[in-house]
Amino acid sequence: MRAARTLATFDDVELGDHVCWHPDSADAFPADVLAYVADGALYGDKIVVVGSTGAVSGLPRDAVPSASVILDSPRIADPDSVLAAVRREARTAAREGYRSVRVLTERAPAAAPGGAEELLAQELKLDEFASESNAIVVCAFRPSQWDRPTLEHVTGVHPHEMGIRAERPAFRMYSTGADVWSVDGVIDSECADAFNTAVRAAVRFAPKVSLRFDTLEMIDAAGMRALVDAARHLPDRRIVVEGANDIVRLCWELAGYVTDGMPVVMAA
């Protein structure tokens, strides 16, 4: 079962990880990236770089193993095509005998013009891919290029991050099955907007999704409201919350959400 965790270095990366990397200094980029790529060769993982090597974290072209794949064509500029290409490379790598694929991508605001919800929808798809295929996906977000709220939003949909765990958002939402998303941590008023955006992005893909709250410590009134609003954002959506602890279930009932017609159901 996947679980949220923090990586001190890329040495700690494991199969199925989807890492949100906030490099704290530009100087650290090449060394960290080189180590990530070199470990791929060591463990028998095929390297897949999304974007040009120079633009992705300052990765020198000659540092990339010859068998690596660089997905840098204008034809695959749209996110769905990128994901389809990555999935294709993962299947090819499996046929070629690789252990898995190591995906490296650097996200830039210019490549995410659709706003936070669109960006989170793309990240959730990548997360589902990592979960299903045991691929390792590292997404670099340079803090200097992104506004803080958007960075918080995207951090919330990566189960893993490198460096010191960001204090916000206090939750992490990630794939643990087909249309099943686990939510870890705390959902309070300070991250309710990020949670709302993440759930809205999740219900885009399917009319019915499950949220696993097994490792969610607490949710406050703003968080519950955010969940209900996200479910009502699109018609005919249904969210089943499973594994919630007794206090979360009590608060849900006290808040008045146990009622007919509610698109969010708190399962026992």
Task: Look at the block and give the residue holding tokens 């020198």.
Answer: 60
Let me know: does 18 contact 127? Beta carbons within 8 Å.
Answer: yes
Least CB distance to other proteins at residue 216 (A): 12
Query: Would you tell me how many other CB atoms lie within 10 Å of the CB of residue 230?
Result: 23
Least CB distance to other proteins at residue 188 (A): 5
Let me know: does 7 contact 161? Beta carbons within 8 Å.
Answer: yes
Task: Look at the block and give the residue holding tokens 């000659």.
Answer: 62
Q: Which letter, b or e, does each residue of 188-203 get, where b requires 16 or more Cβ atoms within 10 Å of its Cβ?
A: bebbbbbbbbbbbbbb
Nearer to other proteins, 166 or 180 (CB): 166
Nearer to other proteins, 76 or 222 (CB): 222
Nearer to other proteins, 167 or 236 (CB): 167
Least CB distance to other proteins at residue 115 (A): 23
Nearer to other proteins, 43 or 257 (CB): 257
CA distance 55 to 202: 29
How far is the first Cα of the chain from the last one, in angstroms, to the nearest whole number?
Answer: 21
Least CB distance to other proteins at residue 174 (A): 20
The DSSP letter of residue 62 is: G
Least CB distance to other proteins at residue 200 (A): 18
Nearer to other proteins, 139 or 170 (CB): 170
Nearer to other proteins, 179 or 214 (CB): 214
* Backbone φ and ψ of 185, nearest 5°: 105, -130
- The site for other proteins (CB under 8 A) is made up of 167-168, 170, 186, 188-190, 217-218, 220-222, 224-225, 245, 247, 250-251, 254-257, 259, 262
Least CB distance to other proteins at residue 11 (A): 28
